[in-house]
Amino acid sequence: MVRKLAVVGATGAVGQIVLEEIQHQKLAYDELKLLASERSAGKKVKVGDQELTVELLEPGAFDGIDLVIASTPDEVAAECVPWAVEAGAIVVDESAFYRMQEDVPLVIPEVNPDAALGHKGIIASPNCSTTQMVVALKPLLDAAGLSKVVVSTYQAVSGAGLAAQEELLRNTTSKLNGSPASAKMFQHDIALNLIPQIGSEKQDGFTSEEIKMVRETHKIFGDNTISVNATCIRVPVLVGHSESIYCETKEPLELQRVLELFRNAPGVTLIDDLGSKSYPMPADCEGKPDVFVGRVRKDLDNPCGINFWCVSDNLRKGAATNAVQIGKLLSEQSDVSAG
């Protein structure tokens, strides 16, 4: 049970979904406080049958708070999360700032819930593209081990925020009308296009998003020996990341066993009937909390090779849903109280 819960970034796109998920997942609390920047402070937000006023995000705002769910840009998290920890709160942070810090657990409740017990005031929620992949891979890892993962992501523009969604719609309309379109949110115009770069250039030609997927997967699974190779692509889809995943298990698994593992895995929904044209698509998965898997195939040459398609709402399981699940996990593990 959480006595006092605070949501930071409450008026943002993900923050709004956090509030929905708190109600949906029945994360119990006695008192809820909404925090945001000066631009949003004073706004009224409806949460369940309550109407709450958004308060200013400042150091004193965390006095008496037990649990914080924070959805902010990295630079804001770097400043405000220590305020909350110093006030005695536990923070579930959705930014990238703390994810790879050695003393900060990186948690997906379906995958490594016990890692949350080792927190020192901060628990990080992983990158959206990592989260759905790792949830899908977990049953295979448990059943037969993993030696290799090759993933190509097809990531919706909502991963870059509301302005990116608006740019996609605006530029698509311009192109269909034969009018010029300008790119502001991305390196190139995303309308009717694909951009094979998400994030900045890093080592050996990989982007920051691709390196995140490698390092976060190793940290969550606690195994740096798994070979992970990622190619991340931005696609003209509003919501929902898709991934084409090839993996190699350490021991062979029959196809029916793989399907059974996906069917029974927590947080995974299997939709896989090629004959009836049934498989996960972002348009169908939007607004849903699960990770959806389909197009499951064994490799034609390697008995340990498995191919599958994976889709998830990046604003839900990739962000808000996972953060609230962590908060609920903490509240169920022990009484969450300040100090």
Q: Are residues 191 and 235 in the same domain?
A: yes
Q: Are residues 119 and 136 in the same domain?
A: no
Q: Are residues 26 and 151 in the same domain?
A: no
Cα–Cα distance for residue pair 98/103, rounded to 1 Å: 9
Q: Which domain holds residue 118?
A: 2-126+319-333
User: What tokens does 315 get?
Assistant: 């604003």
Low-confidence ranges of the chain (pLDDT < 50): 338-339
Q: What is the pLDDT of residue 339?
A: 46
Residue 300 lies in a domain: yes
Residue 241 lies in a domain: yes
Q: Are residues 292 and 145 in the same domain?
A: yes
Q: What is the pLDDT of residue 335?
A: 53
Beta carbons within 10 angstroms of residue 51's beta carbon: 9
Residue 71 lies in a domain: yes
Cα 1 → chain centroid: 24
Residue 90 lies in a domain: yes
Q: Are residues 284 and 174 in the same domain?
A: yes
Q: What is the pLDDT of residue 336?
A: 64
* CATH code of the domain containing 281: 3.30.360.10
Q: Are residues 102 and 210 in the same domain?
A: no
Report, as residue numbers or ranges, the catalytic residues.
128, 241
* CATH code of the domain containing 78: 3.40.50.720
Q: Are residues 175 and 266 in the same domain?
A: yes
Residue 180 lies in a domain: yes
Q: Are residues 259 and 290 in the same domain?
A: yes
- 116-121, Cβ contacts within 8 angstroms, sequence gap of 24 or more: 116/326, 116/329, 116/330, 116/333, 117/333, 119/90, 121/84, 121/85, 121/89, 121/90, 121/91
Which of 75, 130, 315, 53 lies closest to 61, judged by CA? 53
Q: Are residues 75 and 164 in the same domain?
A: no
Q: What is the pLDDT of residue 334?
A: 65
Q: What is the pLDDT of residue 338?
A: 45
Residue 179 lies in a domain: yes
Diameter of the chain by CA atoms?
A: 61
Beta pairing class for 2-8 and 67-70? parallel
Cα–Cα distance for residue pair 232/184, rounded to 1 Å: 19
What's the burial of 176, exposed, middle or buried (CB within 10 Å: 0-12/13-18/19+)? exposed
Structural domain count, the chain: 2
Q: Are residues 158 and 50 in the same domain?
A: no
Q: What is the pLDDT of residue 249?
A: 98
Rounded (5°) CA angle 220-129-250 = 50
Residue 48 lies in a domain: yes
Q: Are residues 230 and 248 in the same domain?
A: yes
Cα–Cα distance for residue pair 279/272, rounded to 1 Å: 5
CA distances 31 to 4, 65, 71, 104, 147, Å, are 5, 9, 19, 26, 46
Residue 201 lies in a domain: yes
Q: What is the pLDDT of residue 150?
A: 98
Rounded (5°) CA angle 216-222-224 = 75
Q: What is the pLDDT of residues 211-258, one digit of tens each?
A: 999 999 999 999 999 999 999 999 999 999 999 999 999 999 999 999
Q: Are residues 145 and 240 in the same domain?
A: yes
